[in-house]
Amino acid sequence: MSEREQPRRETVTLIDNATGRRVELPVRRGTHGPAVIEIGRLYKELGYFTYDPGFLSTASCRSAITFIDGERGVLLYRGYPIEQLAEHSTFLEVAYLLLYGELPDREQLRRFEDTITHHTMINESLKSFYQGFYHDAHPMAIMVGVVGSLSAFYHDSTDIRNPRHREVAAHRLIAKMPTIAAASYKHSVGEPIVYPRNDLSYVGNLLRMMFAVPTEDYVVHPVAERALDLIFILHADHEQNASTSTVRLAGSSAANPFACVASGIAALWGPAHGGANEAVLRMLAEIGNVRNIPKYIAKAKDKNDPFRLMGFGHRVYKNYDPRARIIRRMCHEVLRELGDDNDPLFELALRLEEEALRDEYFIERHLYPNVDFYSGLIYRAIGIPTNMFTVMFSIARTAGWVAQWMEMIADPEQRIGRPRQLYDGPPRRDYVPLEQREPARAAGGVHFQGEARVTD
Ligand code: ACO
């Protein structure tokens, strides 16, 4: 091909108005979604970093796993719409899809399910870790600790440059999360740990490990089993969210995969992320009555009040969260079959949604219910206590975390994640010996910028 026939490379030109210098930056297009401007050369050529707190316009990696179109309310796993997977698939099939990129055939699925089932036990010595936690420890605190401590085991599978080792670590994580989660719960209620059973499904096993006791077995209700499996499908991955980005960043330094997933669990815990499902139930309980809805909507709109409507709003979805639509339907079914279809909290949730969606403040800002607005009500109907809601989320998201971690390690463009900053602290200054320093003006503690105040 002659030079004239070469396809024109798509670029964007950035001009520094102060100096007149310009740099041509390549544009890269994916399958769907906005194209990206590659800015890797920007610092070298113009001497600038880019500044984008919260990554509003920044793609941190390339990925072929999950696609979200927030404007149109679209969520695809490996190209398949979430609605189709929710209707026809199972969580383990979705986990396979996320990990390997294609839907399995019958034999591949059987082998995968068998592998996961045969990795569900945890090392006996891991059980003693639980004894170190106070009985009222939050189960997410236990999860961070115990999952992280898996990195002290399994030295046979942690050469992350070996694809087979990565695969085994991924299988172990997906398989052991329900066992670790159920044991966290058992510790918090002072009951003995229940071992996994190979004749049960992934979520059936989890429910039994949570609710069986030595004196009485637990029979899994098929509606609870299907509902939990569906919630797990909906939560399995969500491209570069806070916890997934945390797993990737930790993994970018070639850290141990179990420790990386523990860092993801820590990021998920916050109420702005996975902790929202727990916060929704607490909020509904606090609102208490439909008569109080206007008062709480006013609080959510008041900029001087830190209160937000939990389970509302999303960084990416500026249309209805497609997962919320699916889960809302399932919520009706579960409450009809297992709980109380007239559950006052469910009625309250429906009314709150209705009134918020009519309110100019929420309309203008495109604030819609997200997946966690309804998931907590389903968990409650199944009998899962509120402090376990985010733990449930972490089990499902493990499939996405390990798929994203595996993709990242195998990516030839992968480098250690090392963001830069805009430094706005004091300019260079000389050390002042203690005896020459002025007494500090603020007494009684150290003050930091913002609200944080620490005393010793
Ligand atoms: N209630 C009241 N106001 C809200 C809410 C809310 N839930 N969410 C956003 N807003 C307002 C903000 O105050 C802001 O208003 P302003 O433009 O007048 O300042 C505007 O909407 C935009 O909100 P941001 O906080 O800038 O949006 P961001 O994308 O940074 O945050 C987030 C998204 C964290 C999800 C936010 O909507 C929120 O806090 N929601 C409640 C917590 C929640 O449900 N989290 C779960 C997310 S889903 C998941 O992790 C599975």
Please give the Cα distance from 5 to 282 (Å, whole number).
Answer: 64
Secondary structure (3-state) at 378? helix
For the chain, give the percent of residues with pLDDT over 70. Answer: 94
Give the position of tokens 């399994």: 154
Asked whether residue 443 carries a pLDDT value surpassing 90, the answer given is no
Answering whether pTM is above 0.75, one says yes
pLDDT of 389-421, one tens digit each?
A: 999 999 999 999 999 999 999 999 999 999 999
Ligand 1 and 370: CB distance under 6 A: yes
Ligand 1 and 274: CB distance under 6 A: yes
Provide CB contacts within 8 A for 246, sequence distance 6+.
263, 264, 266, 267
Q: Which ranges in 73-136 belong to alpha helices (H)? A: 82-88, 91-100, 106-117, 124-131
pLDDT of 28-78, one tens digit each?
A: 999 999 999 999 999 999 999 999 999 999 999 999 999 999 999 999 999
Q: How many C-beta atoms surround the C-beta of residue 117 within 10 A?
A: 18
pLDDT of 348-378, one tens digit each?
A: 998 999 999 999 999 999 999 888 888 988 9
Average confidence (pLDDT) over 289-311: 94
Please give the Cα distance from 377 to 248 (Å, whole number).
Answer: 31
pLDDT of 115-147, one tens digit each?
A: 999 999 999 999 999 999 998 899 999 999 999
Taking the CA of residue 393 as reference, the ligand 1 atom at the shortest distance is 51
CA atoms within a 13 Å half-sphere pointing along the CA-CB vector of 395: 29
Site to substitute for ligand 1 among 365, 392, 394, most atoms within 8 A of C-beta:
365
Helix pair angle (389-410, 372-382), 10° resolution:
120
In this structure, what token pair is assigned to residue 59?
């793609």
Ligand 1 and 312: CB distance under 6 A: yes
Site to substitute for ligand 1 among 282, 293, 314, 321, most atoms within 8 A of C-beta:
314
Ligand 1 centroid, distance to 277 Cα (angstroms): 14
| Residues 180, 186, 188: CA angle, nearest 5 degrees | 105
